Amino acid sequence: MECRALFSECEAYRYTLTWRWARDPLLIAWMLNPSTATHEALDNTVSGLIKRARVWGLGGVRVINLFAFRATEPADMKRAKDPVGPENDRCTLEILREAKADGDRVVCAWGAHGKHKGRDKAALGLAAGVGIQLHAFQINDDGSPKHPLYIAHEVEPQLWRMAA
């Protein structure tokens, strides 16, 4: 299994995390911000994503985030001077372009905190610029895509558009 992550030099930011076991399309999970998972150690969220991707016959999981600042609690991320990270949008755009070319499934799962600093709308702008379809496991009452930790593994993602 290929396991890799791209961190900032100071390691305060993680731009992407990939666990790949086959050359098939990937599950691209677009979440809020990275916590403790690395290419060497999984957390519960990434473990659940891997289980889903295997069941769906995908070749791996790649995680991207609205905010690249590493924090377990959203409140800690929100207090960061630059929670987005200097290279996050560039890395995300590159991954979205690759995802479109490779037929990967992009599933948004950032939850209600994605509205912080208008990052949800900025993300949708990046996706629209690439022309890639977005999916969500489920939708929160506020219209945001629900985090996968709180969703049964058998739930399949559906096409999703953020309400205006």
pTM of structure: 0.95
Integer-rounded Cα radius of gyration of the chain: 14
For 118-143, the pLDDT digits (tens) are 999 999 999 999 999 999 999 999 99
Predicted pLDDT of residue 116: 97
Separate counts of helices (H) and strands (E) for the chain: 4, 7
CATH, domain range 2-159: 3.40.50
Size of the chain in residues = 164
Give residue limits of the domains in the chain: 2-159
